[in-house]
C-alpha cells in the first residue's frame, strides 16, 4: 500500500498576469515550461504509463469544469473516467499507475467545433496525412476533439474531401478525436462571404445537399445563411437528421433569424464575423444576426477567442449576454496554426486563396481570414482579455461545445462513465499533457 500525499502543493501553479485570484494564490510549486509540450518532471512517469489502461492522475487541481476538487485526482480505466476524487484519504495500491501532476490543473479535454487546419495541413487537402496532422497539432495544445471544417468550394472538390474523410477517419488513431465534419458553406450570402471563395457561393440546392447528407453521415454540422431562397427548408432538413444547423455568413435581419430558429437553426457561427448587424432598411433601423445571436436564448454562439478577431469589449459583451452555457470557444484555425509566420494557402494546397500570417493571425488581403491560435490559449484569452473566471472559460471549451454537438453524454466534463479525454494545464494554462480515450499522447 502506498499513500499518495499532497506533497507538492496543489494551488494552481503560476498565475496569469492579472488573474491570480482566479487561478489560486500563486504559492504553488511552479510547473516549468522550458521543455516544450511535456515537462521533464512528468516525462518519466508519463513514459511508464503510456501503455497502461488503468492509472491515476493525482495531486491536481481538478476542474470538472463545474466543480473544483483540490487537491484531487482522476482514475482512468479502459479509456473511461472511473472516478474523480479528493486526495484526502485516498489509498492507492502498489503497481497502480500514478501520474503526479504536482498541482497542475486537470480539466476535461478541449473541444474545438470549428477549425480548418493546422500544422501545415488544411481539411481541403483531403488526405489522410492532412487529417492526421490536424488531429495531432491541435492535441498538442490540449484539444481532444475537433470538428474539421470544409470551405466553400465546387461540389467536386467538396465531395472529394468528404469521401476522403469517410475513407481515412478510422486510420487516424492518435491526436484529437475527429468528431465529424462541419460544412462551412457553400450556401452563404454573397454580401457576407468574408474569406469564403465567392466563385462557389450558391443558394441551397436540396438535390445537392440531400445527396451529400445521405452519402456522408460524417457531416454533423452545417453553416448556412437561412435568409437565402431554400435556407429554411435546409434548416428543417438538418433538424430532421439531427445535424447542427448554424447561421453563418448571413445577411439576415433579426426577424429572419426568428424564422430560422423556428426552422431548426440553433447556433451562430463565429459571432460578429461574416454577418449582419444593425442596418437601415427604407430609413428604419433593423437588427441583424449579431443582435439576434445575443438576444435569443434559443441560439448558442461561438467565439473565435484568438484575441485578434474580436477585441476584449466584444468578448465581454457576448459573455455578459450569453453566459458560459451558451458560448463555445473555437479556433477557426487554418493551415498555418502552429507554424511560422509567412504565406500559406487557404483551402487546398496550391489551389486555394493565398493568405499571409502576421501578428498572430491569418490575413486575406486587408481582412482577417481565420485563426492560428489553438486549444488552451483560447481559454486563457477569455480569462485574460474578457475577465472570465477560469472555470467558466473552460466550460466554454468543454461542457458547452459538447452539449451544442449533442455529445455531452460522452464528452465535455469529468464524470465517471464519460470518455477519458483530459488535459493537464500549467498555471499559465499551457497544455502539459493531453489524454484522449485514456491514452496519453506524445
Ligand atoms: Zn471557418
What is the DSSP secondary-structure string of 143-159? Answer: EEEEEEEE-S--HHHHH
Q: Is the pLDDT of residue 335 over 80?
A: yes
All residues at 6 or more sequence positions from 8 whose CB lies less than 8 Å from its CB, including other chains? 29, 59, 100, 102, 103
> pLDDT value at position 49?
77
* Ligand 1 center to 196 CA (angstroms): 9
* Ligand 1 center to 240 CA (angstroms): 24
* Ligand 1 center to 12 CA (angstroms): 33
Q: Is the pLDDT of residue 8 over 80?
A: no
CA dist 235 → 179, 207, 223, 226, 261 (Å): 21, 15, 10, 7, 9
Please report the sign of the dihedral spanned by the C-alpha atoms of residue 144, residue 137, residue 325, residue 247: negative
Between 68 and 18, residue with greater pLDDT: 68
21 is catalytic: no
Of 332, 415, 421, 428, the active-site residue reads 332
pLDDT in tens, 189-239: 999 998 888 899 999 999 999 999 999 999 999 999 999 999 999 999 999
Q: Is the pLDDT of residue 305 over 70?
A: yes
pTM attached to this predicted model: 0.91
> pLDDT value at position 27?
37
* Ligand 1 center to 403 CA (angstroms): 20
Cell matching residue 409: 453524454
All residues at 6 or more sequence positions from 360 whose CB lies less than 8 Å from its CB, including other chains? 306, 307, 308, 372, 373
* Ligand 1 center to 183 CA (angstroms): 9
pLDDT in tens, 351-399: 888 999 998 899 999 999 999 999 999 999 999 999 999 999 999 999 9
* Ligand 1 center to 387 CA (angstroms): 25
CA angle (64 as vertex; 58, 67 as ends), nearest 5: 105
Structural domains for the chain: 2-108+423-440 (2.30.40.10), 110-411 (3.20.20.140)
* Ligand 1 center to 346 CA (angstroms): 10
pLDDT in tens, 76-133: 999 999 999 999 988 887 677 899 999 999 999 999 999 999 999 999 999 999 999 9
Amino acid at each position: 500500500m502506498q499513500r499518495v500525499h499532497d506533497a507538492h502543493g496543489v494551488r494552481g501553479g503560476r498565475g496569469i498576469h492579472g488573474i491570480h485570484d482566479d487561478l489560486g494564490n500563486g504559492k504553488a510549486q511552479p510547473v516549468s515550461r522550458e521543455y516544450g509540450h511535456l515537462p521533464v518532471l512528468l516525462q518519466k512517469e508519463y513514459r511508464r504509463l503510456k501503455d497502461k489502461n488503468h492509472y491515476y492522475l493525482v495531486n491536481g487541481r481538478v476542474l470538472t469544469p463545474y466543480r473544483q476538487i483540490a487537491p484531487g485526482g482522476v482514475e482512468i480505466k479502459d479509456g473511461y473516467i472511473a472516478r474523480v476524487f479528493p486526495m484526502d484519504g485516498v489509498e492507492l495500491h502498489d503497481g497502480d499507475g500514478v501520474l503526479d501532476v504536482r498541482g497542475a490543473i486537470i480539466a476535461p479535454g478541449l473541444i474545438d467545433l470549428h477549425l480548418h487546419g493546422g500544422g501545415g495541413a488544411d481539411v481541403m487537402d483531403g488526405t489522410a496525412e492532412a487529417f492526421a496532422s490536424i488531429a495531432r497539432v491541435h492535441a498538442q495544445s490540449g484539444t481532444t476533439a475537433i470538428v474539421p471544417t470544409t470551405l466553400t468550394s465546387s461540389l467536386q472538390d467538396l465531395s472529394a474531401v468528404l469521401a476522403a474523410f469517410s475513407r481515412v477517419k478510422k486510420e487516424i488513431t492518435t491526436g484529437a478525436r475527429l468528431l465529424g465534419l462541419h460544412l462551412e458553406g457553400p450556401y452563404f450570402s454573397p454580401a457576407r462571404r468574408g474569406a469564403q471563395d465567392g466563385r462557389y457561393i450558391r443558394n441551397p440546392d436540396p438535390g445537392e445537399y440531400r445527396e451529400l447528407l445521405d452519402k456522408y453521415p460524417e457531416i454533423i454540422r452545417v453553416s448556412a445563411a437561412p435568409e437565402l431562397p431554400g435556407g429554411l427548408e435546409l434548416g428543417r432538413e438538418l433538424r430532421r437528421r439531427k445535424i447542427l444547423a448554424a447561421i453563418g455568413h448571413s445577411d439576415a435581419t433579426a426577424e429572419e433569424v426568428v424564422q430560422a430558429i423556428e426552422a431548426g437553426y440553433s447556433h451562430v457561427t463565429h459571432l460578429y464575423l461574416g454577418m449582419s448587424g444593425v442596418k437601415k432598411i427604407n430609413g428604419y433601423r433593423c437588427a441583424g444576426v449579431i443582435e439576434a445571436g445575443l438576444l435569443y436564448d434559443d441560439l448558442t454562439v461561438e467565439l473565435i477567442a484568438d484575441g485578434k478577431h474580436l477585441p476584449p469589449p466584444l468578448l465581454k459583451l457576448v459573455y455578459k449576454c450569453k453566459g458560459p452555457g451558451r458560448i463555445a470557444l473555437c479556433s477557426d484555425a487554418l493551415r498555418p496554426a502552429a507554424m511560422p509566420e509567412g504565406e500559406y494557402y487557404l483551402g487546398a494546397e496550391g489551389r486555394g486563396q493565398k493568405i499571409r500570417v502576421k501578428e498572430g493571425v491569418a490575413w486575406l488581403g486587408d481582412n482577417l481570414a481565420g485563426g492560428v491560435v489553438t486549444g488552451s490559449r483560447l481559454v486563457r484569452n477569455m480569462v485574460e482579455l474578457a475577465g472570465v473566471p477560469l472555470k467558466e472559460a473552460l466550460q466554454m471549451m468543454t461542457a458547452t461545445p459538447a452539449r451544442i454537438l449533442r455529445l455531452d453524454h460522452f464528452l465535455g466534463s469529468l464524470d465517471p462513465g464519460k470518455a477519458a479525454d483530459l488535459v493537464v494545464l500549467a498555471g499559465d494554462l499551457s497544455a502539459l499533457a493531453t489524454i484522449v480515450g485514456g491514452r496519453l499522447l506524445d
